[in-house]
Amino acid sequence: MKKSRIPALRAIAAAALAVAAPAHAAVERIEITERAPFAPGVKFGEAGEYEKLRGIAHFALNPKATPNLPIVDLKRAPRDKRGMVRFSSEFVLLRPVHGRSTTLVYDVNNRGGIAMLGQINGKSPKNNDPTTAEDAGDGFLMRHGFSMLFSAWTWDVAPQPAGARPLVFKPPVAKGVRGMVANEFIVNAAAEVATYAGMRGLTYEPATADDPHAVLTERASQGGERKVLPRARWHFVAPEQAGGPGRIKLERGFQPGAIYEVRYEAKDPRVSGAGLAGIRDLLAYFRDNPVEDAMPPKNVLVFGISQSARVIGRMLHDGLNVDEQGRLAFDGAFLQVPGAGGSAGFNSRFVQPTRHPSMLEEHDYPADAFPFTSLPSRDPLTGRSASTLDKAKDKRGRLPKIVIANTSTEFWNRGASLLTTAPDGSGDVGPAANVRVYGFMGAQHYVGRSRTRAPFTACVSTSNHYLPMRALMLALDAWTSKGTLPPASAYPRVEDGTLVTVEAYRKAFPAVPGIAPPAQNLRQPRLDFGARFPLQGIADIVPPQQKVPYETRVPAPDADGNDRGGVRLVEMQAPLGTHTGWNLRAPETGFAGFTSRFDGSFVPFARTEAERKAGNDPRPSLEARYANREAFLAATRAAAERQLAARLLLQEDVERIIAERAGLYDRIMARDPAEQGCNYLFAAP
């Protein structure tokens, strides 16, 4: 990689540069350890050339400061002579070389990996280290002049292949603290040894090696009775690779169709909330201070996908978006596919940020809890009224501007309807004036990429919701920097019949060949960890007691089985088939009838009326819908123009979505309907 042409003495100094922050700031100094051109020789439109800076931010948190009081166990962390809790975080900054970047956008990494570039620019950087023009994808964020900041915030990231550079946080540790932890896991095929950590993550290991008092249970379902497996039948074994999660070896092995849970005493919890404060304070630092000859940005945004979006939700819930000086750390936030928002995860004792519930798994894990809505709503069970933004105002009473976008999959698997309904699902609760909510109908958690049905029953949905995300990113920037209002919220609602019960969905869903709707979506668990958990984040009941769950709803289907309401993507307006937010697990996994965590389904329409009738398909064929290929392309272009007018698609992406749809049309028309593979969904590489 080509290095920047810095004189030798300056290069040495830059590698150990300590930039002091104001005395009251939580970031005391930063070190720049690397400064080099990004994508050398490439100019990104008017923004020009970019450079990459790597560094380390050094933090000192006052555990007595009011803004830091929500951080669980911060007072139990080691302190220096001044009473400060110290830690550090690696960061990466991409920015234009010449001129001032008016907007800095912070990407909350997902399990250590840079996420924003993959979905917005269309390319995830190799080895999590953006360096080349290829790593820039189509250069969207660069062409629009954004500076991009990434840093470490979570500790529970499993080891990655050699050469990868995940951003992994080393938080303060509350030494000497002990408590019970529970780890739930399943297997998709029979296995003698299984890992009990969360997805691509780590967990707390037993305080006592191969803890003889640990308990392993199995049950057939979330509500089923736990059966204790004899301790003599199993034991803990070493990680598969150094630093990885521990494993369990079970005599006669683990079997699909069972939910396993291991409980034991752990020690020395990480102060995970310090990672959230680290995001807050790093953004406050870059907002206020010039870094390596560049002036501070005028506008600061934060962006998160899935787990990372839920991190932002928890920051807002706890007021950790407001810095120690009482100012907003960021002007705007984009929460992409956060489900119900993440208001109960990431900041409690022995928390494991990697874990989260789905329809099948981990209903005992704290991820989401009342309140869910940005305007106050009332929980009829407790009588409490609250909103997610009650603690998010700065000292001047200001709130950040917020964009929240979910796909159809989050309504089935992550309780997304709770963002805009009462906790009992009885009616709508509109978003606050500073919030926009969007539902990308017919899309799944990420744009589908699996070429096989297994371990599910249908091919995945390839609806491209990344394109409206690009439009909304620019809209958020304009909203926060210029006051230009973004597109109106668009999500399914109870009052107009586009948000319904699963029972109503199943009755309305057509008899699409080869698929049938699930019997249930995720009814968000209401968990009781004991009296100390709501305010102190300390669980005294492990596993928790499950109370009456929150009621969740799903988008209503139309006559084709495509979701109504919300943002009707181009794929829904000129459809080639049925796109759903759910995909059922295959029977061989042991959990037939349950849904994939992240994947939806796609079933194309029959090509001709003769094929439709032969297959007993109630949906009109492509032949009946579009006279020919040109007619389909005309319908697609009209849909794209409507999205453009609604400011949910950019002009630069109109031809792209038309080309994508034309390619799929051609592949469907060339496909043998008897072929059960999913390769036809994807263009040849």
394-423: per-residue pLDDT in tens?
Answer: 999 999 999 999 999 999 999 999 999 999
Q: Is residue 482 part of a domain?
A: no
Give percent helix, percent strand, percent coil of the chain, each to the nearest 5.
Answer: 25, 25, 55
Res 10 pLDDT > 90: no
List of residues 6+ apart from 613 with CB closer than 8 A: none
Q: Is residue 320 part of a domain?
A: no
What does the pLDDT look like over 96-149, one tens digit per residue?
A: 998 778 999 999 999 999 999 999 999 999 999 999 999 999 999 999 999 999
What does the pLDDT look like over 534-552, one tens digit per residue?
A: 999 999 999 999 999 999 9
Q: Is residue 413 part of a domain?
A: no
List of residues 6+ apart from 293 with CB closer than 8 A: none
Q: Is residue 244 part of a domain?
A: yes
pLDDT band for position 5 (cuts 50, 70, 90):
very low
Res 20 pLDDT > 60: no
Res 358 pLDDT > 70: yes
Q: Is residue 230 part of a domain?
A: yes
* pLDDT for residue 9: 32
Residue 227 structural domain: 178-267
Pairing assessment for the beta strands 377-378 and 385-386 based on DSSP bridges: antiparallel
Max Cα–Cα distance, the chain, nearest Å: 82
Res 3 pLDDT > 70: no
Number of domains in the chain: 1
* pLDDT for residue 181: 97
Res 19 pLDDT > 80: no
Query: At CB < 8 A and 24+ separation, what contacts does 205-211 make?
Result: 205/246, 205/266, 206/236, 206/246, 206/264, 206/265, 206/266, 207/178, 207/264, 207/265, 207/266, 207/267, 208/264, 208/265, 209/236, 210/235, 210/236, 211/236, 211/264, 211/265
| CB contact at 8 A, 353 and 342 | no
What does the pLDDT look like over 555-567, one tens digit per residue?
A: 999 999 999 999 9
CB burial of residue 15 (10 Å; 0-12, 13-18, 19+): middle
- Ranges assigned E (strand) in 220-365: 227-228, 234-237, 247-254, 259-267, 299-305, 332-336
Q: Smallest Cα–Cα separation from 365: which of 524, 486, 159, 510?
A: 524
Res 210 pLDDT > 80: yes
Q: Which two tokens stand for residue 351?
A: 């928390």
Share of residues in the chain with pLDDT > 90 (%) = 94
Res 1 pLDDT > 80: no
CB burial of residue 483 (10 Å; 0-12, 13-18, 19+): exposed
CB burial of residue 273 (10 Å; 0-12, 13-18, 19+): buried
Q: Smallest Cα–Cα separation from 364: which of 538, 546, 194, 535?
A: 546
How far is the C-alpha of 489 from the C-alpha of 11, rounded, in Å?
49
* pLDDT for residue 147: 97
Res 14 pLDDT > 90: no
Q: Is residue 610 part of a domain?
A: no
* pLDDT for residue 25: 64
Q: Is residue 146 part of a domain?
A: no
* pLDDT for residue 2: 39
Q: Which two tokens stand for residue 679?
A: 């390769």
* pLDDT for residue 127: 92
Pairing assessment for the beta strands 499-500 and 332-336 based on DSSP bridges: unpaired
Q: Is residue 327 part of a domain?
A: no
What does the pLDDT look like over 333-347, one tens digit per residue?
A: 999 999 999 989 999
Res 525 pLDDT > 80: yes
Average pLDDT over residues 259-264: 98
The answer to which of 23-37, 358-372, 477-491, 511-525 has the lowest mean pLDDT is 23-37
List of residues 6+ apart from 162 with CB closer than 8 A: none
Average pLDDT over residues 461-466: 97
| CB contact at 8 A, 606 and 615 | yes
* pLDDT for residue 11: 41
Res 524 pLDDT > 80: yes
